[in-house]
Chain A
Amino acid sequence: MVKPKKALQEEARRLRRDGKSVNEIVAILGVAKSSVSIWVRDIQLTEEQQNVLKHRGRQYGMGNAGAQANTERFRTMRQAYQQAGREKAREMRPLHLAGCMLYWAEGSKNRHRMEFVNANPHMMLFFLRFLREEMAIGNPLIKLNIHCHTDEPNEIQRIIQYWLNLLQLPASCLRKTYYKESGALKRKRLPNGVCGIRVESTELTHHILGAIQEYGGFDNPDWLF
């Protein structure tokens, strides 16, 4: 025995006001989904009800669960790396402290990549010493990006050789060298261009970020990304 449509319609609207989804109403009343949709579409749900539906939906619910679990997993991993950095920081090794402070000032704050860019040869050497002695980073992991302010091939070669000799790295470390035409002033100020050291390692990056927080005595949740 089918109920009269009018009664069904009112029942559907009542259910909708309670915060039921269209599919649920269809399951309860046994009418076509399109009919229910038309009957209830003008009812404004409260924010709470909307949230409940949103998080139950496919997009926010099971369909996304794997990705969410992964996010959580890698976040915990990064937290563990930072914790290791903090442990190391408590040993108060001068070179470690110095390297971390330099990185805080000059390094880029990426999630997965440690990148340190500078034109000062002494600073680059010192930072590389920190990487090699404290973090045990070997040459194969290091990548070198050089920026030149000239477009003469000979000059570019000279600059590349300058940095390779200075940092004692093999040519296989080199990544693409950028060059651009610049004014005389810039060339004079940066005769050897700018050198960037990169290590693609999440662990290293977060170790340093954790150590910085320990040394500085603060907590920066932004750095967990």
Chain B
Amino acid sequence: MQEFKWRTLKRQGDYREKGLSIAEIAIRLNISFHTVSTWVNNIEIVDQFKQNSGNSLGSKALSEKYKAKRLEYQNAGREKAKENRPLHLAGCMLYWGEGAKNRNKLVFINSDPNMLLLYMRFLREELGIEDKDIKLYIQCHTTDTNEIKEIEQYWTRLFNLPSNALRKTTIKKGNFERKHNIYKNGFCAVVIYKTELIQHIYGAIQEYSGHSDPDWLL
């Protein structure tokens, strides 16, 4: 089996050097895209084989358009950062540390109620988020239905949110007895689906710390 894989790998290398795309190699050898991707991603493609076909022009234009939009949002964030409002600064720094670096949504997960409360204040007072935009995904370490209900109530009451803000609660896998003792109320993820907001925060973070991270334009 191992030997077979090595032989295929070698063939993949040959194909890749000839300029085949990962999808083409995968179809030709009848293995998964992912496997091919991890095996050949260190092979450089010679310039003359780089595909620049016409059928992706439309999507390229679109991606340019949205990139410009995201840049605009980031600049708005930078403008706001120049006002030097303490709560805005605090929220952005917390997000830098704990938040997920997505392109189109804000995800902030934590188990510390104090930190989440401050983050909530930042969302409501500085960014003007309304309750209906906030979604809560709770992760807990118990299978007891009553306890899960209690945990859900704990978080909604803490944030003063209606119960329809709750999304499906995840029960963590594995041996969670010890974790259950540490994280009595599980974790709470505050999620907001808004490209404008997340890019606003990225822009503000860069302004506050005085750097520029092109990776965040994604």
Contact = CB atoms under 8 A, between A and B. Distances in A.
B175 interface: no
Interface string A213-225: 0011110100000
Contact of A101 (B41, B42, B97, B114): B97
B3 interface: no
Nearest to B91: A101
B38 A101 contact: no
A94 to B, nearest CB: 6
Contacts of A123: 96-97, 209
A94 B87 CA distance: 10
B94 A104 contact: yes
Nearest to B113: A218
The interface size bin for chain A is 20 to 34
A5 interface: no
Interface string B112-129: 001101100000000000
A102 interface: yes
Nearest to A213: B114
Given A97-B89, A97-B90, A122 B97 contact: no
B150 interface: no
A184 B38 contact: yes
Nearest to B93: A101
Interface in B17-70: 38, 41-42
Interface string B145-179: 00000000000000000000000000000000000
A92 interface: yes
A104 B213 CA distance: 23
A187 to B, nearest CB: 10
B2 interface: no
- State the main secondary structure of chain B at its contact with A: helix
Interface string A184-225: 110010000000000000000000000000011110100000
Contact of B89 (A98, A104, A125, A217): A98
B131 interface: no
A101 B211 contact: no
Given A105-B98, A184-B41, A215 B90 contact: yes
B208 interface: yes
Interface residues of B, number: 21
Contact of B209 (A106, A126, A218): A126
Given A97-B86, A125-B211, A102 B114 contact: no
A92 B86 contact: yes
A27 to B, nearest CB: 46
B90 A101 contact: yes
Contact of A216 (B97, B115, B211): B115
Interface in A64-107: 92, 94, 97-98, 101-102, 104-106
Contact of B94 (A105, A184, A217): A105
B38 A185 contact: yes
A98 B208 contact: yes
A7 B41 CA distance: 94
Contacts of B38: 184-185
Given A94-B89, A122-B213, A220-B114, 13 more contacts: A97-B90, A98-B93, A101-B90, A101-B93, A104-B94, A104-B97, A105-B97, A125-B209, A125-B211, A184-B41, A184-B42, A215-B118, A218-B117
Interface of B: 38, 41-42, 84, 86, 89-90, 93-94, 96-98, 114-115, 117-118, 208-211, 213
17 contacts: A97-B90, A98-B90, A101-B89, A101-B97, A102-B96, A106-B98, A122-B209, A122-B211, A122-B213, A123-B96, A123-B97, A125-B209, A125-B211, A184-B41, A184-B42, A188-B41, A216-B115
